[in-house]
Structure 1
Amino acid sequence: MSSQEAGQMRIGELAHRAGVSSRALRYYEEQGLLASERTLGGQRTYPESAVERVRLIQQFFTAGLPSRVVLQLLPCVDTGHASPEAFELMAAERNRITTAMADLAVARDALDRMIDIANHPTPEHCPALRDPAWSAYDPAAAPTPAPANA
């Protein structure tokens, strides 16, 4: 009986049906998120249920969860029972994402200011617009090097 007859599929078919790359599936296995069996020839095979599991893993990743957190949450999925720790973990991840979003908003606003300055330069922000734009070199104003210890 072939692996296809036993309800098993190879990595390429699972990748196609789940909408991910074969490389992603190998990564999921390395991280302990997905399990496969091996044929006598060493090829990976997966049960039909792997399609749904891969789609779920993708949902976790879309939600911004790293693989280490997904690994902690999958037992709740497998048992159908979410522990209080799982809810705490998801809340902590939500807080992490919210903080990252706030940091990105600060960076975006700073970039918006820079774009505005670039589009509407003023002497305050652009030395080339100052009168004079530059001043002559004055050796007396140059910093003196610190003496070397002998």
Structure 2
Amino acid sequence: MRIGELARRTGVTTRALRYYEEQELLTAERSSSGQRHYAEAAVDRIRVIRQLYAAGLSSRTIAELTPCVVDGRATPELLQRLAVERDHLDRHIADLVDTRDRLDSVIAGASATLRTGAPCGRDATAASPESR
């Protein structure tokens, strides 16, 4: 398939697809006129690449891990690297859960404050006698 079709099927811009090629995350065959042609497997490869980017991995890390993650070719070193990246994601998830829990606590406290009529946040500081 040509670059435009791959872009449509994956929701990725053609510019991003060219960048993936520059980073050696994706390969394309070239026609005699220089047009890129991608295999059907490129659709799944792009999905994995996007997931890894969304997880916070760099293009260099993705390039290193792609043979294992996409193609199923694993070496002990790649498996160790995947475990390190998974542990990093676990810490990031834990931090996000902690942040969400703090927000839930603030929302619950603010809801109680609203029921009692006491101001909260910047409005509370401006309205308090200590801030005058």
Match of residue 55, structure 1, among 33, 44, 48: 44
Q: Secondary structure at the match of 2:107?
A: helix
Q: Which moved more, 1:118-127 or 1:23-32?
A: 118-127
Alignment map for 1:1-150 (pairs within 5 Å): 9-16=1-8, 18-21=9-12, 22-39=14-31, 41-46=33-38, 48=39, 51-62=40-51, 64=55, 66=57, 67-76=59-68, 81-121=73-113, 126=120, 133-134=128-129
Task: Give the structure with higher Rg (CA).
Answer: 1
Please list the CA deviations of residues 65-107 of structure 1 after superposition, one character each: whole Å capped at 9, or x if unmatched.
Answer: 6232221123447886310011111101110010001111111
TM-score, with normalisation over the residues of structure 2?
A: 0.68
Please list the CA deviations of residues 109-141 of structure 1 after superposition, one character each: whole Å capped at 9, or x if unmatched.
Answer: 111111112111279985988xxx41596xxxx
The gaps in structure 1 that reach 5 residues or longer are 1-8, 138-150
Offset, 1:54: 3.8
Please list the CA deviations of residues 17-70 of structure 1 after superposition, one character each: whole Å capped at 9, or x if unmatched.
Answer: x43322332231122111234456543333x3xx21341342354253623222
Higher fraction of helix: 2
The one-letter amino acid of 1:56's match is R
Q: Secondary structure at the match of 1:32?
A: coil
Identity across the alignment (%): 41
Q: Structure 1 pair 113/94, CA: closer, same or farther in 2 (3 Å)?
A: same
In 1, distance between residues paired with 2:90 and 2:30?
41
Q: CA RMSD in A?
A: 3.5
The one-letter amino acid of 1:20's match is G
TM-score, with normalisation over the residues of structure 1?
A: 0.61
Contact 1:33 1:71 in 2 (8 A): yes
